[in-house]
Amino acid sequence: MIGMRPPIGEKIDFWRWSEYHRVQPGMNWTSKDIITAGVDVGSVSSKASIMITGQAYSWSITRTGSNSPDSARKALDLALDETGLRVSDLKYIVGTGYGRVNVPMANKAVTEIACHARGANYIWGPSVRTVLDVGGQDIKAIRIDETGRVKSFLMNDKCAAGTGRGMEVFADLLKIPIEEIGETSLKVAEEPPPVSCTCVAFAKTEAIGLLRKGWSKEKVLAAYTRAMAMRMANLVHSLGLEKELVITGGQSKNIGIVTRIETALGVKCLPMPNWKDNGLDPMVAGAFGASLFAKSLYEKTQKNNGG
């Protein structure tokens, strides 16, 4: 399913990343368990996570459509697939992400900053202090404490430059499947200078200009990826880098970005979980965090009801 090429001859959308869902093997649920869900409706992808008493049980990633409620439903349905669970079995649901107020089945909405912080703490453990979340249309740098609570954050929400959308445009333009873009960008003998402008709307002009100069696809991609990584590294610098650093969001899967951020900041990120083989997927960090908030919020209502 992952990284598979479509048959030759069909129209290929090179930007298209794999939508998928996963059920963790060896886990079971009973109606007595605290089953909660988190739904993260991002600008480009929607994610849902289902947890059994605070442990990730299943999750999904789908493309966000033009309608947030539909995208939320689609993601949650996909996460429920093959679990035997129905929406009515979920004790509490938290919505997050840019479309969080439009998650119809959610009991509550929580900001994506808080959810990503908590999700990163869940995936990598208490040593994480800085989370860089690179999503489809924005970049956030978050400082957290050992419990996953937000201490401070910086966000680039004025401009989509250097986000996943730009990478999609490049994948299509250079005809390289999006999941191979990171590897491809590293296939250069020498790192080229970064492009001067990372505006998503100008990505096409920028690439055509460099190809016209005779640059290889790999070199063009390296120059753009480097410029993107420098934007992200600058955001982390402005916030103040404290180790350990982790990257969440779609670009955490782009080895070209991760390597260049590490170079720019002079630190190594904590290792990426093996998400292709039952490891937790850092692209789902926000939804993991949301389903953990759902558990805490559910327990609070129980306490209030009981007392």
Partner 1 sequence: MITAGMDLGAQTVKAVILKDNVVLSRARCFSGFDPAQAANQALDDALKMANLKLPDIHYSVATGSNMELAPQAHSTVSMLNADAKAGTHLFPKARTVIDVGAEEARAVKIDDKGAMLDFVVNERCAAGAGTFIEAMARALEVNLEEMGQLSLKAERASSINASCVIFGESDVVSLIHQQESKAEIARAIFDALAERVASMIHVLGVNLDIVLVGGLAKDVGFVTSLSRKLSVKLLVPDYPDFAGALGAALIASSRARSLQK
Positions in the binding site for partner 1 (CB under 8 A): 43, 66-67, 137, 158-161, 165, 196-197, 199-202, 205, 208, 212
Between residues 186 and 211, which has the closer beta carbon with respect to partner 1?
211
Is-cis flag, bond preceding 244, omega within 30? Answer: yes
- At closest approach, how far in Å is the CB of 251 from partner 1? 15
Of 166, 221, 180, 136, whose CA–CA distance to 2 is shortest? 180
- Cβ–Cβ under 8 Å, residues 252 and 134: yes
Q: Which two tokens stand for residue 180?
A: 């191979």
CB of 171 to partner 1, least distance (A): 16
Q: How far is the CB of 72 from partner 1 (least distance, A)?
A: 15
Query: Smaller CB distance to partner 1: residue 200 or 247?
Result: 200
Closest by CA position to 224, among listed 202, 240, 242, 244: 202
**32 or 212, CB closer to partner 1?**
212
Tell me how far, at minimum, the Cβ of 200 lies from partner 1, in Å.
Answer: 5
Task: Report the C-alpha dihedral over residues 45, 282, 52, 118, rounded to 10 degrees.
Answer: -100
d(CA 134, CA 2): 20
- Closest separation between CB of residue 229 and partner 1, Å? 18
Pick between residue 20 and residue 202 the one whose CB is nearest to partner 1.
202
Q: Which one, 56 or 103, has the nearer CB to partner 1?
A: 103
Task: Find the shortest distance in angstroms from Cβ 190 to partner 1.
Answer: 24
Measured between its terminal Cα atoms, the distance across the chain in Å is: 49
Q: How far apart are CA 155 and CA 239, in angstroms?
A: 10
Closer by beta carbon to partner 1, 137 or else 259: 137
Q: Give strand pairing partners of 23.
A: 58
Q: Are strands 55-63 and 45-52 parallel, antiparallel or unpaired?
A: antiparallel
Q: Write down the least CB distance from residue 10 to partner 1, Å.
A: 25
Give the dihedral sign, CA 194/130/42/273: positive
Q: How does DSSP classify residue 217?
A: H
Structure tokens at 289: 């965090």
- CB of 147 or CB of 196, closer to partner 1: 196
